[in-house]
Amino acid sequence: MVTIDLLRHTVGTLAYRAAKVLRDAPDGFSDFSPGSGARTAGQILAHMGDLFDWALSLANGEHVWRNAPVDTWDADTARFFEALQRFDARLASSEPLGNSAERLFQGPIADALAHVGQLAILRRLAGAPVKGENYFKADIAAGRTGPGQCAPKVEFD
């Protein structure tokens, strides 16, 4: 059984990992694609914002999906973190969830974790790799879901 505390820590982990991959992206990275038919980095980021708008609706017992258009990298980064913060605040509230924590994890949260990995791979392919890290030692906390994350403790070259 997934607890709200573990779910919130997972959202904090997502925020930490996403912040690392989203910051300092090179100019034009939003339009980067590894090939024909693949999503661009910007499309993936916009989708991540959509996921947490959806996650909030699911937490409220609804099922509302909306595909937002791709905006600038900075605007979509801000949108993602704002949606993540709204979702985390909902989890932290005393209101009962409209869907189970397990379902919230298996849908939007797990999907977003996979997309952070995709963006990390795209950064490497675009010639702007993100340093690896011992995430076990990272300073990650439930409720810390904005772009301003703690500095890495142990990065790899």
**What CATH code is carried by the domain that includes residue 92?**
1.20.120.450
Distance of CA 92 to the CA centre of its chain: 18
Distance of CA 89 to the CA centre of its chain: 15
- What is the tally of structural domains in the chain? 1
Contact residues for 106 (Cβ-Cβ < 8 A; gap 6+): none
pLDDT band at 157 (very low <50, low <70, confident <90, very high): confident
Tell me the three-class secondary structure of the chain, residue by residue: CCCHHHHHHHHHHHHHHHHHHHCCCCCCHHHCCCCCCCCCHHHHHHHHHHHHHHHHHHHCCCCCCCCCCCCCHHHHHHHHHHHHHHHHHHHHCCCCCCCCHHHHHHHHHHHHHHHHHHHHHHHHHCCCCCCEECHHHCCCCCCCCCCCCCCCCCEEC
Per-residue pLDDT reduced to its tens digit, 22-71: 999 999 999 999 999 999 999 999 999 999 999 999 999 999 999 999 99
CB 81 within 8 A of CB 145: yes
Q: Which domain holds residue 120?
A: 4-156
Per-residue pLDDT reduced to its tens digit, 127-142: 999 999 999 999 999 9
Please state the pTM of the whole predicted model.
Answer: 0.96
Mean pLDDT of the region 86-106: 97
